[in-house]
Amino acid sequence: MASDIVSALTAKDRKTIHDLLDNECTLRMPDALTDRFIDLGRVVTLRRRQCIIRRGDTDPDLYVIFEGIMRTWYRDGEQEVTQAFGTPGAICQSFHSYYSGEPSSVSFEACTPVRLLHVRAADFDALVADSAEFARWNLRLAQCQLYHYEVKKRVINGTARERYEAMLGHRPEIISSVPLKDIACYLGVTPAYLSRLRRQIIRDQRAR
């Protein structure tokens, strides 16, 4: 873990994380149980371009984004491939490391300044074992996040222009905050092509 600052939770942090966890899952967890989960963590602050987990690292821990935007990416030959973006409420975790103890297949990198709740895997597993209610909530959360990921992938489909326009409509926070290079990697085009495409879209909008 390449972290900039590690710190304790403030009351404001706790409320932000509490609200995000409530909104991420259709199954509401009792406040006391949410507090138990939050109490397991500490705050990690990243600068832009810092990684919380690098490809090849073995790190089974959980990181809940509560400020900023992350991306998961890997290198295919000379080309960077951005798999997904994570916004507040998303959980960053290497499933390879968590389930099998293998190195991560992707890097988790900050696209903007980011703050995360870091929960050790051992502490998380202990809470799952101790509370059947928390285990049910965690299963539902995983289902909800997978559903939303599939919806986003289905919506952001088609040509490069169609995908970019879909991001403008459905994920404007990424368009406004994430560097052009990272968005281009996600869309599978070069930054130069995306820059031309953005100018063309603006011209077309003005001509209407």
pLDDT number for residue 205: 83
In the chain, where are the structural domains located?
Answer: 5-155, 159-208
DSSP secondary-structure letter at 72? Answer: E
> Do 109 and 71 contact (CB within 8 A), yes or no?
yes
Q: Residue 81 has which token pair?
A: 């491939």
Mean pLDDT, contiguous 10-residue spans, the chain (208 residues): 69 94 88 95 95 96 97 91 92 94 96 97 97 94 84 77 89 93 92 93 85
pLDDT number for residue 116: 97
What element of type H or E holds 76?
A: strand 70-76
Which overall architecture, per CATH, does domain 5-155 show? Sandwich (2.60)
Going by C-beta distance under 8 Å and a sequence separation of 6 or more, which residues neighbour residue 173? Answer: 69, 87
